[in-house]
Amino acid sequence: MDLKNDIYLGDCLQKLQKIDNNSVDLIVTSPPYADQRKQTYGGVSVNEYVDWFLPISKELLRVLKPTGTFILNIKEKVQNGERSTYVLELILEMRKQGWLWTEEFIWHKKNCYPGKWPNRFRDAWERLLQFNKTKKFNMYQEEVMVPIGDWAKSRLKKLSETDKIRDNSKVGSGFGKNISNWVNRDKAYPTNVLHLATECSNKNHSAAFPESLPEWFIKLFTREGDTVLDPFMGSGTTNIVAQRMGRNSIGIEIQPEYYQMVKNEMVERNMIIFEPDVEYGKSTNHTSNEVCGSQHRQLSPKSYKQVKRTSTEKSS
């Protein structure tokens, strides 16, 4: 299978306009949070965040297939002693755009930073918001099933008569269970809580998430040959995992140093790269054309014999 991996240098709002309508199967991304990563991305204020993100989410809605899914990793910050509401406000505004807020996954960060505050405890989780264009979208739940656990060996060994029928909750909630349905099963469906450690120092990026995070969603929402997009590429985790799993990918990054880092990573993995015909700028205060130029030249294929995966970098 020939895979395509496109990476763009520039502002994602501009670069997204180059992507065809209804062409992406899955979007997994973590944009800069409000008033954070100021040294890296300048920081967007809490009051301006929703207005800043809505034009981007509008473009994401356009490029996503009707059967596709958008996973947004985001977390509101504490400001003046209370949680900001900008994430909740963003959800409401995105629903007005036409997005369906289908689910909310929780990323439990098993190795979160220690700390002590007078009015709260340390942050150990982040939101993974699931948005869709329609109620019927591709979802392959069997791909993320987990071992049922040792409890089944003793619990299912001898069933009572109640275990063999649907036993409704005694509190009148409407929920019920039939224990006998678990007999001869070795796997179960997971919960919406992902227990994953964070990764930062080994990625040379201030906000990298672990490879297991996009991997889980790529398994759940795509098949081999589908296309995965990360409009805030950063260290390229989503794109690298996608190509490793046999998916096409698209990445957009505004910072030249991170863009170059991802390109180097792809070269190390024996992927064909298209290099711009100008040097990369050292300052972020450039337009994408000034930084990357508009002419491209293909590197010599001698170093990439027998390579099928193709990666392109684009600036225009």
- Total Cβ atoms within 10 A of residue 222: 25
The answer on 129 and 141 residing in a single domain is: yes
> Total domain count for the chain?
2
Helical pair 86-97 and 46-63, crossing angle rounded to 10 deg: 30
The answer on 15 and 109 residing in a single domain is: yes
Q: Determine the structural domain holding residue 125 and report its residue range.
A: 9-145+189-254
Residue for token pair 């929780």: 106
pLDDT digits (tens, 9 = 90+) for 37-60: 445 445 788 899 999 999 999 999
| Distance, CA of 86 to CA of 78 (rounded, Å) | 11
The answer on 194 and 104 residing in a single domain is: yes
The answer on 177 and 89 residing in a single domain is: no
The answer on 141 and 32 residing in a single domain is: yes
More confident residue, 110 or 92: 92
What average pLDDT does this structure show over 234-262?
A: 94
The answer on 97 and 119 residing in a single domain is: yes
The answer on 209 and 239 residing in a single domain is: yes
Per-residue confidence at 241, pLDDT binned at 50, 70, 90?
A: very high
The answer on 219 and 88 residing in a single domain is: yes
Contact 31, 100 (CB under 8 A): no
pTM given for the model: 0.78
The answer on 248 and 234 residing in a single domain is: yes
pLDDT digits (tens, 9 = 90+) for 285-309: 433 333 333 333 233 333 333 334 4
CATH number for position 128: 3.40.50.150
